[in-house]
Amino acid sequence: MTALAQNKTLKIGLVSVSDRASQGVYADQGIPELQKWLEAALTEKFAVETRLIPDERAKIEQTLIELVDERQCHLVLTTGGTGPAKRDVTPDATLAIADREMPGFGEQMRQISLHFVPTAILSRQVGAIRKNTLILNLPGQPKAIKETLEGVKDADGNTLVKGIFAAVPYCLQLIDGIYIDTKPEVIESFRPKSARR
């Protein structure tokens, strides 16, 4: 078992990538939205490391490396900078520091987001692994955080398309990160029977 797996409390890095929020032009809503959703969705207490940074590729890479290698986060969620504009470089920075890509997360997020906005196709968001840490890029619109993590529900709260967070607990378990669970009324996560504890 790795040092990260022995670290029993889930630690999540929350990175808001925004030129204007980081300059104080507007208040950052990325980190509060991420934190609020995670508090509603996770069954156990968790620790967070938060970073608000501009859309600078070197700064994003350095931040991700620090959160994985030094802060030992099990999971890192970024928000912002996934589009096609020149300064949108979060996916590029993520892949540059990653060991392996997890294409299913980006594919599923775009599928989910198309139920909300036609511009979903413009997000280059990726999922990737560095060491034993899963890194997921979410779009910058604050409302996109809940949409992509939780998925599409009907008026009665029945799930129509599963959010990507459904796959996160088993993924963290497989990469020897940590064993976590979600509240089914927010998001029902899945793992095979043989992997349940």
Ligand X SMILES: Nc1ncnc2c1ncn2[C@@H]1O[C@H](COP(=O)(O)OP(=O)(O)OP(=O)(O)O)[C@@H](O)[C@H]1O
Interface with ligand X (CB under 6 A): 16, 18-21, 26, 28-30, 55, 80-81, 83, 85, 140-142
From candidates 48, 83, 92, 170, binder to ligand MTE by CB under 6 A: 83
If one asks whether residue 182 binds ligand MTE (CB under 6 A), the answer comes out as no
If one asks whether residue 88 binds ligand MTE (CB under 6 A), the answer comes out as yes
Q: How far apart are CA 137 and CA 163, in angstroms?
A: 14
Tokens of 104: 């299913």
Cα dihedral sign for 10, 49, 4, 82? positive
If one asks whether residue 82 binds ligand MTE (CB under 6 A), the answer comes out as yes
If one asks whether residue 161 binds ligand MTE (CB under 6 A), the answer comes out as no
Q: Which does 122 bind (CB under 5 to 8 A by kind): ligand MTE, ligand X, none?
A: ligand MTE
Of residues 140 and 169, the one with the C-beta less far from ligand MTE:
140
Q: How many residues bind ligand MTE (CB under 6 A)?
A: 19
**CB 67, CB 76: distance < 8 Å:** yes
SS3 at position 169: helix
Of residues 40 and 122, the one with the C-beta less far from ligand MTE:
122
If one asks whether residue 123 binds ligand MTE (CB under 6 A), the answer comes out as yes
Q: In Å, how far are 47, 49, 85, 195 from 170, measured between CA atoms? A: 19, 22, 33, 8
DSSP assignment of 88-112 equals --HHHHHHHH-SEE-HHHHHHHHHH
